[in-house]
Chains A and B, each alone.
Chain A
Amino acid sequence: MEQEYVEYVTARLPGLRRIACQLTGDTHRGDDLVQTAVTRLYVGWRRAHEAENVDAYVRTVLVRVFLDEKRRLWSRVCLVDTPPEPVPAPAGDAVEDRDLLHAALAQVPPRQRAVLVLRFLHDRPVDEVAASLGCTAGTVKSQTSHGLASLRRLLGTAAYAITGEGK
Chain B
Amino acid sequence: MEEKLLAPLRDVPLPPSAVDLHRAVRDGRRQVRRRRVAATATAGLAVVAVLAAAPALLGRPDRPAPVTPAITPSPSAAPMPARAPAAFDPARQYADFGWLPAGLTGRMVATGTAQLALNASPLVDVASPDRRGGAMVDLRIVSAGHDIAFDAPSDFAVPVARGGSAGLEPAEPVNGRTARWNTLASDPRGAALRWEYAPDTWAELTVQGASEGSDPRALARRIALDVRYGVQAPVRLPVHFASFPASLKPMAYVVGTAADGTWNVDVSYGAGRRTKYGDWPLTVHVMPRACTPATTRCRRPGLDPGRPPRPPPLGHGWWCHPPGVRRPGSVRGAGCPRQGHPAGPRREPGRPLPQRHPAPEGRRLALTSTGWRNSYPPPGLRPLLPGSGGACER
Indicate which residue in A2, A29, A98, A101 contacts B25 across the interface (CB closer than 8 Å). Answer: A2
User: Nearest Cβ distance between residue A3 and chain B, in whole angstroms?
Assistant: 11
Q: Do A29 and B393 touch across chains, with their CB atoms under 8 A apart?
A: no
Q: Do B324 and A148 touch across chains, with their CB atoms under 8 A apart?
A: no
Q: Do B28 and A28 touch across chains, with their CB atoms under 8 A apart?
A: no
Interface size class of A (residues with CB under 8 A): 35 or more
Does B353 sit at the interface, judged by CB under 8 A?
yes
Chain B residue with Cβ nearest A144? B2
Chain A interface, >50% SS class? helix
Does A130 sit at the interface, judged by CB under 8 A?
no
Interface size class of B (residues with CB under 8 A): 35 or more
Give the docked Cα–Cα distance between A82 and B14 (Å): 20
A-B contact count (CB 8 A): 229
Q: Do B328 and A78 touch across chains, with their CB atoms under 8 A apart?
A: yes
Which residues of A sit under 8 angstroms from B334, Cβ to Cβ?
26, 106
Does B305 sit at the interface, judged by CB under 8 A?
no
Q: Do A28 and B5 touch across chains, with their CB atoms under 8 A apart?
A: no
Give the docked Cα–Cα distance between A156 and B346 (Å): 10
**Assuming A6-B21, A81-B319, A103-B347, is B14 touching A21 (CB within 8 A)?**
yes
B-contacting residues, A60-115, CB 8 Å: 70, 72-84, 87, 89-90, 94, 96-107
Indicate which residue in A38, A148, A152 contacts B19 across the interface (CB closer than 8 Å). Answer: A38
Q: Among the interface residues A5, A76, A157, A165, which one has the most CB atoms of the partner chain B within 10 A? A: A76
Give the docked Cα–Cα distance between A40 and B29 (Å): 10
User: Nearest Cβ distance between residue B298 and chain A, in whole angstroms?
Assistant: 17
Which residues of B sit under 8 angstroms from A136, Cβ to Cβ?
none
Does B367 sit at the interface, judged by CB under 8 A?
yes
Chain B residue with Cβ nearest A161? B349
Which residues of A sit under 8 angstroms from B214, Cβ to Cβ?
none
Chain B residue with Cβ nearest A148? B2
Q: Do A80 and B320 touch across chains, with their CB atoms under 8 A apart?
A: yes
Indicate which residue in A18, A26, A166 contacts B5 across the interface (CB closer than 8 Å). Answer: A166
**Assuming A27-B15, A36-B324, A154-B347, is B381 touching A165 (CB within 8 A)?**
no
User: Nearest Cβ distance between residue A140 and chain B, in whole angstroms?
Assistant: 13
**Assuming A22-B12, A27-B14, is B326 touching A154 (CB within 8 A)?**
no
Indicate which residue in B4, B32, B319, B377 contacts A43 across the interface (CB closer than 8 Å). Answer: B32
Does B18 sit at the interface, judged by CB under 8 A?
yes
Does B329 sit at the interface, judged by CB under 8 A?
yes
Which residues of A sit under 8 angstroms from B155, Cβ to Cβ?
none
Q: Which residues of B contact A (CB under 8 A)?
A: 1-10, 12-15, 17-21, 23-25, 27-29, 31-32, 275, 277, 279, 281-284, 286, 289, 317-331, 334-339, 343-349, 353-354, 365, 367, 377, 381-386, 390, 392-394
The 3 closest A-B pairs by CB, nearest first: A42-B28, A28-B327, A79-B320
Sample of 10 more A-B contacts, CB < 8 Å, known A79-B284, A165-B1: A27-B15, A39-B324, A74-B393, A77-B392, A79-B322, A83-B328, A83-B385, A84-B15, A101-B8, A120-B6
